[in-house]
Amino acid sequence: MAGAVIWYGPSDLTTVRSCFTPEDAATPEALMLGTAPAAAPERASAASPLTHVHSGAPPFLLVHGDEDTMVDCSHSQSLASALEKAGSRVELWTVQGADHGWHGLPDDQVEGLFTSSLAFARRLVA
């Protein structure tokens, strides 16, 4: 079975969220698109996972730090909500005190996130 494990990923390149603004040409998202997302709304929408949510989506595990300063946790919350509304299986784990890249977490907690994420993926193929 197909599925997805996504750690702290952006889900919407079209909407202002925390420190992200679609008009900023210096973001990693702008580098991916070749221009500020607002300057290429069709590309920004096509690159946004939120745009592609559908009822036949595979199971998702979304894991995001609640103190992420690069990709606001609302990205995972919005994607989880949209997947739930579409009737897809989704788990959202919000990690207390974690910044992007799991900065701020002790190594054993990061290892636990990796192990639990791997267990989710293994359940899909069992």
pLDDT 10s digits, 18-70: 878 898 898 889 999 999 999 999 999 999 999 999 999 999 999 999 999 99
pLDDT 10s digits, 84-115: 999 999 999 999 999 999 999 999 999 999 99
Q: Please state, in angstroms and as integers, the Cα–Cα distance from residue 71 to each residue in 81, 89, 102, 121, following that order.
A: 17, 23, 12, 23
Residue with tokens 């293994």: 122
Contact 53, 84 (CB under 8 A): no
The reported pLDDT for the residue numbered 20 is 83
Under DSSP, the state recorded for 57 is P
The reported pLDDT for the residue numbered 126 is 77
The reported pLDDT for the residue numbered 18 is 80
Q: Which domain holds residue 93?
A: 4-125
Number of domains making up the chain: 1
The reported pLDDT for the residue numbered 72 is 94
Q: What is the CATH number of the domain that holds 89?
A: 3.40.50.1820
Measure CA of the first residue to CA of the last residue in the chain; give whole Å. Answer: 9
Look up the pTM and report it.
0.91
- Measured between alpha carbons, how far is 107 from 69 in angstroms, rounded to an integer? 20
Contact 8, 63 (CB under 8 A): yes
Q: Please state, in angstroms and as integers, the Cα–Cα distance from residue 57 to each residue in 10, 25, 34, 115, following that order.
A: 18, 31, 28, 24
Those residues whose C-beta lies under 8 Å from the C-beta of residue 80, and which sit 6 or more positions away, are 60, 62, 90, 92
The reported pLDDT for the residue numbered 17 is 82
The reported pLDDT for the residue numbered 19 is 79
